[in-house]
Amino acid sequence: MYQRILVALDDSPSAQRAFDEALKLAKLTGATLEACCVVGHGKWSDTADAAFEPEPATAAQEFASRALDAPREMMREAQVPGGVRVIDAYAESVSAVLARVADEIEADLIVMGTHGRQGVQRFFVGSVAESLVRSTDIPVLIVRHQPAGQEQS
């Protein structure tokens, strides 16, 4: 079924739920799980486990690295192979970075959370999930942190 799953992480309940689903799928199918957090500035090496490049890390990168500690530990406890990485988007959009990483690791599935914004808020904020679905041929599993119809006002 699945051999390589990419899961996109950020600091949101929907991303945490997406990670939980990706971890379950990886465990069920014996897939390798790659957790990826995309940040917008500075320089970072390809994996969170690797050493920093000479330039000092930004606050976003430091936060992302710490945020990946729990997923790394959960993967270890579940005995799911894979890794975690923080990637600097530089001039690319988050969806472009995720599509590129999915291609690089030859992912069979991309799992990501969505906030479920609608109307004007969605127009101005945009949808990384929608953009990713449109830019890749790899199946994308979208996970909401709240069931439909239970959104907060």
Spatial separation of the C-alpha atoms in residues 138 and 111, rounded to whole Å: 10
- Tell me the pTM: 0.78
Per-residue pLDDT of the chain (153 residues; tens, 9 = 90+): 899 999 999 878 888 999 999 999 999 999 999 999 988 754 434 444 444 443 445 677 777 777 788 999 999 999 999 999 988 877 788 899 999 999 999 999 999 988 755 544 444 345 788 889 999 999 999 998 765 555 554
What is the topology classification, in CATH, of domain 20-144? Rossmann fold (3.40.50)
Q: Write down the domain spans for the chain.
A: 20-144
- CB-side exposure of 124: number of CA atoms within 13 Å? 2
Instruction: Tell how strand 140-144 and strand 109-114 pair up.
Output: parallel
- 69-77 and 59-67 helices, crossing angle to 10°: 20
How many angstroms separate the CA atoms of 106 and 111, rounded?
Answer: 14
